Amino acid sequence: MIAEFMNEHKNEILQTYADLHKIPEWGFEEFKTSAYLQEKLKAHGITVTKCTETGFIAEVEGTETGPCIGLRADIDALPFTNDKGETCYIHACGHDSHATMAMWTLIALKELKLVKHGKVRGIFQPAEEKLTGALSMIKAGAAKGLDELYGVHIRPIQELRSGQAAPALWHGGSTMAEVVVHGHPAHGARPHLGANAIDGAALVILAINSIWLNPAEPWSAKVTRMHSGGAIVNLIPDKAVLSLDIRAASNALMEELLNKIKIAITGAASAAGCTAELIIGDSVPAADYDQSAIDALAVAIATVLGKENLLKPIITPGSDDFHQYKVADSKLRTAFLALGSDAKPGLHDPHMSFNTEVIIPGTNILVEALASRVK
């Protein structure tokens, strides 16, 4: 029944993608995209509720009580500079395909009357690329009452081929941070009267590079930028700022790593008579999925693509702000569909292209998975 629906609406679904592809918009500015999606969903009798300026939810309700099952789609594009030096926007990460799949999943669930118990909620989220869109939707109450949440992302050709899919995409967590080393200024001729922040920073770098965590789990902490010194050379500098790019495969590992960094920088800076503070900047949590939700996707993938095309969960170094929903509600069960699409040369490349035909089986998998949770 679902496969027939996909066949019948194939051209319309691909047209939705083509329409969205023509209106790429930057995070929190997805006005045309959001209006387009809302209008189509409403035209199919689906309830739409605005959450933020461009973010909204759309719900298909059953007649019996039951769980609230979510499907999150990101809708933003990426900024690039064209040959004339102007900023332009391109859907170089396939979020237009995710929005298409989510919209048509809701339409199929509604038209085929597949929601019996509870409801299915589409979360159309802005600004994934800014890594703050999920937080804006959570703050606006978009995740209130959710029991489960599914995500989807097309995959680069190096990870999966068209016609293949995996029921989990294990994103790592990332944290950007700064270490500020405070010393004491002095004349270059009398260094013993000061505390050289550059000496402190050098020791801090060594200390960070001497941290070890279990090598069986992926993690890294790198110093990626350093600033110190003033306008004159014969002055002992009193301040140095280091930037860190920190990654960990799990949130527990990230916590352990940040604790070790704090201890390391404090001790190292004090050896040079300085103090150091760690300032945490933008961060994205790591994936933390639920096995029953992963299993639901796996069954759906096997049904639509065949068992031989159901691949093992993928570990990827990339991140996605999808995992903020789980951090906001630890009881939320999540899983994430990694959809093979032959995307090349790679995501975030302005020339990225993929096999758009995979939008049809991708939508089919999501309808199967969500319908199985509300039948």
What residues line the site for Zn ion (CB under 5 A)? 93
Q: Please, which residue, 95 or 119, has the CB nearer to Zn ion?
A: 95
At 333 the three-state DSSP class reads: strand
For the bound state, the minimum distance from the C-beta of residue 95 to Zn ion, rounded and expressed in Å, comes to 6
**Closest separation between CB of residue 114 and Zn ion, Å?**
27
Tokens of 243: 């930037």
Task: State the nearest-atom distance from the C-beta of 251 to Zn ion, in Å.
Answer: 20
Question: What single-letter DSSP state applies at residue 94?
Answer: -
Is 239 strand, coil or helix? Answer: strand
Best CA proximity match to 334, nearest among 38, 71, 67: 71
Distance CA 148, CA 185 (A): 56
The residues that bridge with 73 in the sheet, in sequence order, are: 124
**Considering beta carbons, is residue 74 or 199 the nearer one to Zn ion?**
74
| Nearer residue to Zn ion within complex by CB, 96 or 199 | 96
Nearer to Zn ion, 48 or 134 (CB): 134
* All residues at 6 or more sequence positions from 243 whose CB lies less than 8 Å from its CB, including other chains: 176, 177, 178, 223, 224, 225, 226
Comparing CB distances to Zn ion, the nearer of 149 and 240 is: 149
Between 6 and 169, name the residue whose CB sits nearer to Zn ion: 169
Cβ closer to Zn ion: 241 or 314?
Answer: 314
Helices 31-43 and 10-21 cross at an angle (nearest 10°) of 160
d(CA 336, CA 365): 12
In contact, 120 and 69? CB cutoff 8 Å = yes
Instruction: Report in angstroms how near the CB of residue 102 gets to Zn ion at its nearest.
Output: 14
Q: Is the dihedral of CA 92, 109, 10, 56 positive or negative?
A: negative
DSSP letters along 29-63, please?
Answer: --HHHHHHHHHHHHHTT-EEEE-SSS-EEEEEE-S
Which residues are registered as beta bridge partners of 69? Answer: 120, 148
If the CB atoms of residues 20 and 93 are measured against Zn ion, the closer one turns out to be: 93
Contact present, 152 and 100 (Cβ < 8 Å): no
Of 48 and 154, the one with the shorter C-beta distance to Zn ion is 154
User: Please, what is the minimum distance in Å from the beta carbon of residue 212 to Zn ion?
Assistant: 32
- For the bound state, the minimum distance from the C-beta of residue 72 to Zn ion, rounded and expressed in Å, comes to 12
How many residues in the chain? 375
Is 153:365 a contact under the CB 8 Å cutoff?
A: no
* CA dist., res. 345 & res. 156, Å (int): 8
Closest distance to Zn ion from the beta carbon of 333 (Å): 22
Q: Which residue is nearest to Zn ion (CB)?
A: 93
